Chains A and B, each alone.
Chain A
Amino acid sequence: MVELLLLPASIRSELPFGYWLHLLIFGLGIITLLLTSVIIFIWLERRLVGRFQLRHGPNRAGPFGLLQSVADVIKILTKEDIIPSRADKLVFWMAPVIAFTPVVLMLGVVPVADGALLADLNIGILFVVAISSVTSLGVFMAGWSSYNKYSLLSAMRTVAQLVSYEMPLILSMVGVVILTGSLSLNEMVKAQSIPFILLQPAGFFIFFTASLAEINRTPFDLLEADSELVAGYNIEYSGMKFATFYLTEYCEAIVLSTLTATLFLGGWQGPWLPPMIWLLLKIGLVFCVIVWIRATLPRLRIDQVMNFAWKFLLPLAILNLLLTSLSVIFWPTAPAWASGLINLSMLAVFILVYSKFFKPGGKTVAV
């Protein structure tokens, strides 16, 4: 199976029913991989957060508590499925599906090895950007249809936040596109003899921060802010539907980690080990950083989140784009260290300038 996955697409397509076989193998592979890795990553997150907090984390079910997530899945599947009587039932039903599907689709354009991917779209990155926005629709539907004030507030926050952070996210991707000269993810990975994080540190920073907001992770986890909105948009969900949302969240985290690894960390590239292992390691690393941030930082307030997106990340992303374009046009032969340094110093200067205007706290609104 694994060998089949790693075969170049050209060989596979020569097999009988090659096209359908390819789709079947990769479709099954992605879903299996995603679902199992969600289980493992949930376990990983809980263990890791535990260690950050000087705890053990789950350690009773199975070796090292590995079966804890399995037990949770069984528990959650056997829970009663409750629908609030005044909920908009159709939307309530559809929301989890709409939220979950695009996340799986995004993985279709990510290569696990050279050419080993479901569909090597030449507009791969555009596909990712386009499809990822659909998730927020599902979240909004869930929050709106639940007929709950907390989830409504959460839904409103979702829309505001996700729309705002799409901008810097896409603009930071454009920097990579300019460097690669292609929209295909496979080409991007292949272009990274030096990982783009070194060439585009500012771009990485913007992408990573914005993706934290996209996947609702600390410090931008406003829509499920448990201390304010109790559980956010999924407050009225239970049973399998809740599980789907839970799954969506973790899949999003994994997908965004994968994209980060692909765009900035060199994807499957790496010496000695097989490419797929490299990719998995990099995904794991990014995920650990996300967990680390979650274990440390408090969350921002909604207006601060918006300010951060529009007044900090967006200008920075535009500046980054400008600088990258200029350097590609006027100094295409620049050595890697020079362009990396220029990018980094731009980031530093921008943060320094911005911090001059940083005012803690907030203002009351006259009522």
Chain B
Amino acid sequence: MAVKTEPLFLNLGPVHPSTHGVFRMRALVDGEVITDIEPVFGYLHRGIEKLAESKSYRQFLPLTDRLDYVSSMNNNMAYVMAVEKLAGIEVPQRAEYIRVIMAELQRIIAHLLAIGSFFNDMGTFFTPFFYMFIQKEKITDLFEMVCGQRLLYNYMRFGGVSHDLPPEFIPALTRFLDEMPAEIKKYERLLAENEIVLARSKNVGVLTREMAVNASAAGPVLRASGVDWDIRKVDPYSIYDRFDFDVPTGANGDCYDRYRVRVEELTQSLNIIRQAVNGLPKGKVLNPVPLRFRPPAGEVYSHIEGNKGELGFHVISDGSDKPYRIHVRAPSFINLTALKNMLIGWKLADAIIIFGSIDICLGEVDR
């Protein structure tokens, strides 16, 4: 006897514990199985790209913090590097090192949050999240030490960084670097080989290599699919060519690989920071630039390896003191392209962790 069934429209978000902000998916479910999905964007659209056109280059700086608000430092860095490239501003060596330290610390923060919330999506009752948050707080304290803010740092400037490191910073950072490897090991032992985690995330939400490249995925999502593509390696910016580090890649492109790639990247980031601290030169940290300087007319695309993928700023100048157009290549946004292909056929519970393993930040998706 055939049971009469009917698909169910399920509205995930914009207010939902696992959509990491105000993302919304309109899912068509057949029982627990997702048969179709439509992502809905725009709940956090602030028109940052339009705002940029009415602000001076410097005034736009604090707004870049608000793109991906868990990686302000990276956003700052990508933007100031684009403008520096456009205007030919030189950056003191010390500032380059400080920038690298900050960017990598920020990567650690963002990855810790990504992993922690990934486990939350999987159903652990906040335990890994809290373990990671404690370490994240320590980095936040370090950031507070250098720039006085705890979330939206606005630390980098054209031609350097806004403040030099206070004397307490390096000892505090060294202490953090010493204790962090043991912490990472702890996170791994806690859940990395847990049978339930394996059962939930292995071979779940597979993004094949071909699909990842075709869908312009970037960052850990792309690398988990086995593509060895890290902007820090393939197109070294700033002073990344001076450091020795590996690019972890996955093999299957499933949720588990995406999670493990992030964990491995924590170790690599620590590696880079350690090298940067050892090589930190003395000197000034800022080549002052006029507040309302006018870069020459032209355009520039400058990218960095943000913690969620390639973060690029396409800055077009018409020679005035305000940018003519700024386009942000937002990794969170573009990584979502393949979401539909990854979700269809999986169960509702899988959908949540697949979505969590992509690790998006709505501030960057909607801009």
Contact = CB atoms under 8 A, between A and B. Distances in A.
Contact of A362 (B130, B131, B190, B204): B204
B293 to A, nearest CB: 47
Contacts of A156: 31
- Interface size class on chain B is 35 or more
Interface string B1-43: 0000000111100001110000000000011111110000000
Considering residues A49, A52, A53, A366, which has the most beta carbons from chain B within 10 angstroms of its beta carbon?
A: A53
Contact of A221 (B18, B123, B345): B123
Given A53-B127, A149-B8, A227-B18, A367 B33 contact: yes
Contacts of B347: 301-303, 362, 365
A72 interface: no
B131 to A, nearest CB: 7
Contact of A361 (B33, B34, B204): B204
Interface in B193-232: 194-204
Interface string A223-241: 0011110100000000000
Given A149-B8, A228-B349, A301-B347, A365 B197 contact: no
A153 B32 contact: yes
Nearest to B8: A149
Interface stretch (A18-26, A290-298, A319-327): A290-298
B202 A361 contact: yes
Interface stretch (B56-64, B77-85, B114-122, B272-280): B114-122
Given A153-B348, A228-B349, A228-B352, A358 B195 contact: yes
B305 interface: no
Interface in B335-361: 344-350, 352
21 contacts: A53-B131, A54-B134, A153-B10, A219-B196, A221-B123, A227-B123, A294-B125, A297-B194, A298-B119, A298-B124, A299-B196, A302-B347, A302-B349, A358-B199, A360-B195, A360-B201, A362-B346, A364-B345, A365-B345, A367-B36, A367-B345
Contacts of A301: 199-200, 347, 349-350
A75 interface: no
Interface in B176-198: 190-191, 194-198
Nearest to B343: A364
B254 interface: yes
A152 B31 CA distance: 10
A230 B349 contact: no
Given A53-B127, A153-B348, A227-B121, A360 B203 contact: yes
B123 A225 contact: yes
A55 interface: yes
B167 to A, nearest CB: 30
Contacts of B35: 367
Nearest to B198: A360
Contacts of A227: 17-18, 120-123, 352
A296 B127 contact: yes
A350 to B, nearest CB: 15
A54 B9 CA distance: 40
B201 to A, nearest CB: 7
B127 A52 contact: yes
A299 B345 contact: no
A296 B348 contact: no
A249 to B, nearest CB: 14
Contacts of A302: 32, 347, 349
Interface string A133-162: 000000000000000011011001000000
B125 A218 contact: yes
Interface string B145-184: 0000000000000000000000000000000000000000
Nearest to A299: B123
Contacts of B348: 153, 228
A364 B196 CA distance: 18
Given A53-B131, A225-B349, A367-B345, A297 B199 contact: no
A362 B123 contact: no
A150 to B, nearest CB: 8
Contacts of A230: 16-17
A301 B346 CA distance: 11
Nearest to A53: B130
